[in-house]
Chain A
Amino acid sequence: MAASDDRLLLLDPRDNVFVARARIAAGESVLIEGEAITLAADLKLGHKLARRAIAPGEKILKYGAPIGSATGPIAPGESVHVHNVKSDYTPTYHLIDAQEEHGEKAL
C-alpha cells in the first residue's frame, strides 16, 4: 500500500475515505496513496477525505462498513461530506445550506 499522510487516519483497510486527525488548511499538500494532492478547502478535525476516486452511487466505506452513497464523482483528496454523500436510510438534516444562504459565518 502506498504511503499516506500522517495527519490522515485510515480506520479500516477496506475504506475509501480517510479521517483528518488534525485541521489541515486549504492550499496545503497532503500525501494520498503516494500522491501529493493540494487541498481545495480547509479540512476540519474528524472530517473525511477521499482515498481514491469514487464513482457516483458507489458506497462510502468507513470502519470497513458502508456509511452512505456518493451523489456524484469524488476525486482523490476531495472532501467527502453532505455535499457529495447521501444516507441509504434517512436524509441528513444540517444547517450548512442555511448558513451559506444567509451569508453567515459558522457559529
Chain B
Amino acid sequence: MSTVAEAPLLGYPRADGRKGIRDVVLVAYLVECAHHVAREIAMPFADRDVHVIGFPGCYPNPYAQKMMERLCTHPNVAGALLISLGCESFDKYGLAAKIRESGRPVHTIVIQAAGGTRKSMTEGRAWIAETLKAREVATRVPMRVDELVIGTVCGGSDGTSGITGNPAAGRAFDMLVKEGATCIFEETGELIGCEHIMAARAITPALGAELEASVAKAARYYATLGYGSFAAGNADGGLSTIEEKSMGAYAKSGASPITGIVKPGDIPPTGGLYLLDVVPDGEVRFGFPNINDNAEIAELIACGAHAVLFVTGRGSVVGSAISPVVKICANPETYRRMAEDMDVDAGRILEGRASLDAVGAEIRDLIVALGNGARTASEALGHREFILTYKSFAPLGPACLPAA
C-alpha cells in the first residue's frame, strides 16, 4: 500500500493503466449540425461534469479524428455519448470502437435515424443519467505525481507575463519534472528567436536540430499568413514584437532538459519536458495554426494533460472541457480587477511580495490539490470552452522521442 507522501493524489483508474483527476462524461458532436442537440443533452447536467466537445467540419480529417479519439479516451474521461447528424463524413464507427476498446461506456445517437432533435435529446439525456448513476460507484485510488501530465499555455500576454507568470510556471515545471511528471509546453509560433537557446537544452543533438526545425517551420508558416502569433491586446500590454512575446513565453518551459517533441494527440512515452509542435506540416492550408487559446489547450489535453497551466497578463477567463485550467495572473493590476477568475497571483513577484520560487511551489502544490478534489476558478465559474478545427501533420521524426 503506498503512503500519502508517495502518492498524494487520488485518481480514477482506467483500463490502460493511466489515472484521471476528473471523471467527466462527454457529449461529443461529430459535425456542427449536431452541436445544438449535444448542448441540449448536456445542459441539465452542467454541474455534474458532463462536458460538450466536438468537431464542426463535414469533411473528414485525420488530425481531427485522432484528436477526438484521444480526447474521448483521456484519463479524465469516464465515457462518451457521440451525436451524429447522420450524413457527415466523420468516422463515427472508428471513434466509437476506440472508446469501447478503452473500456469506457459509449453510445452513438444518429439524429436522422432517431427521428430528429427532440427524440435525440430524450434518448441522450436518458443515456447520460444512466451513465452518471454508474459513475457514482467509481472508486479512486492513490496516484503519484509521476503519473501526472501537465501542459502549459499563455494567452492574453502582456509585458508582465514574461517576468512573473511564465517564469513561475517554469519553476513549477522544474519541480514537477524533478518529481518524474510529464510536462508539455507549446506554441512554436511563440518561440521565434528562442530556437537556439532551446535547442541547447535538448537531451540529444538530433533532438536539438528537430527543435530548431520546428520553430523554423512555425516562422515560415506565420510569415506566409502575414501575421505572427500576436494579438492586438499584446501590444496594448506593452509587448512590441513577436520576438519579445516569444522570449517571455519561452520562460514557461523552465530550465529542465528537453526530452522530446510531440504533435497534437501524441502521448509522451516517459516523464520529462516535451515541446508540443502545434504548427501543421507541409504547405499552408486550413488557415491559422491555432485560431485561439482554446485550440492549443485542447491539443495539450489530447496529449494526455490532466491539467493545463494558463498564464495571462491581460486577463483571460477561459477554462476547458475535460481538464482543469489553472489561471496564473502575471499582472498585479489585472489580478486586483479580475481576482475571481484567477487561481494564482503571480503579480506579487513584480511588487516584491513573493519570490519566483515561492509562486512556483504554490503552482505545483495547487496541481496536487486538483488531484484531491480542489477545483479551479474557471471550473467553479462553469467555463468549459472547447474548439477543434482542421490541420494536417506528418508523423514524428525518429529523433523526436527518447530511445525506448
Point out residues on A near B: beta carbons under 8 Å: 9, 11, 19-23, 44-48, 60, 62-63, 65-68, 80-82, 85-96, 106
User: Is A68 a contact partner of B241 (Cβ separation < 8 A)?
Assistant: yes
Which chain B residues lie closer than 8 Å to A19 at the CB level? 159, 163, 238
- Bound CA–CA A11/B244 (angstroms): 13
Asked if B393 CB lies within 8 Å of chain A CBs, one says: no
User: Is B241 a contact partner of A46 (Cβ separation < 8 A)?
Assistant: no
What 1/0 mask marks residues of chain B from 176 to 189 whose CB sits below 8 Å from any chain A CB?
00000000000000
Count CB-based A-B contacts (< 8 Å): 115
Which chain B residues lie closer than 8 Å to A46 at the CB level? 158-160, 163, 237-238, 313, 331
- Bound CA–CA A85/B241 (angstroms): 8
List CB contacts (< 8 Å) of B217-265 with chain A: 219, 222-223, 226-228, 230-232, 234-238, 240-244, 247-248
Give the shortest distance, in Å, between A50 (CB) and chain B (any CB). 12
- Bound CA–CA A67/B228 (angstroms): 14
Q: Which residue of A lies closest to B332 (CB)?
A: A45
Main SS of chain A's interface residues?
loop
Q: Which residue of B lies closest to A95 (CB)?
A: B232
What 1/0 mask marks residues of chain B from 123 to 165 whose CB sits below 8 Å from any chain A CB?
0000000000000000000000000000000000011101100
Give the shortest distance, in Å, between B116 (CB) and chain A (any CB). 44
User: Is A89 a contact partner of B231 (Cβ separation < 8 A)?
Assistant: no
- Bound CA–CA A30/B234 (angstroms): 25
Which chain A residues lie closer than 8 Å to B241 at the CB level? 67-68, 85-89, 92
User: Is A90 a contact partner of B226 (Cβ separation < 8 A)?
Assistant: yes
Asked if B333 CB lies within 8 Å of chain A CBs, one says: yes
Which chain A residues lie closer than 8 Å to B163 at the CB level? 9, 11, 19, 46
Contact A89/B235 with A65-B193, A67-B247 known, Cβ cut-off 8 Å: no
User: Is A45 a contact partner of B223 (Cβ separation < 8 A)?
Assistant: no
Which 8 pairs across A and B sit closest by C-beta, in order of nearness? Answer: A46-B159, A94-B235, A87-B241, A47-B238, A67-B244, A90-B228, A68-B241, A46-B238
Give the shortest distance, in Å, between B187 (CB) and chain A (any CB). 14
Partner of A90, one of B159, B222, B238, B313: B222
What 1/0 mask marks residues of chain B from 188 to 227 whose CB sits below 8 Å from any chain A CB?
0000111000000000000000000000000100110011
Q: Write 30 A-B pairs (CB below 8 A) sorted by A numbering.
A: A9-B350, A19-B163, A19-B238, A22-B351, A45-B331, A45-B332, A48-B240, A63-B162, A65-B247, A66-B193, A66-B243, A67-B241, A67-B247, A68-B240, A81-B240, A85-B240, A85-B241, A87-B243, A89-B223, A89-B243, A90-B219, A90-B222, A93-B230, A93-B231, A94-B232, A94-B234, A94-B235, A95-B235, A95-B236, A96-B235
Q: Which residue of A lies closest to B350 (CB)?
A: A21
Partner of B243, one of A23, A67, A91, A95: A67
Give the shortest distance, in Å, between A9 (CB) and chain B (any CB). 7
Given A48-B159, A68-B244, 17 new contacts (CB under 8 A): A19-B163, A46-B331, A60-B244, A65-B193, A67-B243, A67-B247, A82-B240, A87-B228, A88-B193, A89-B193, A89-B222, A89-B223, A90-B219, A90-B226, A92-B242, A93-B227, A96-B235
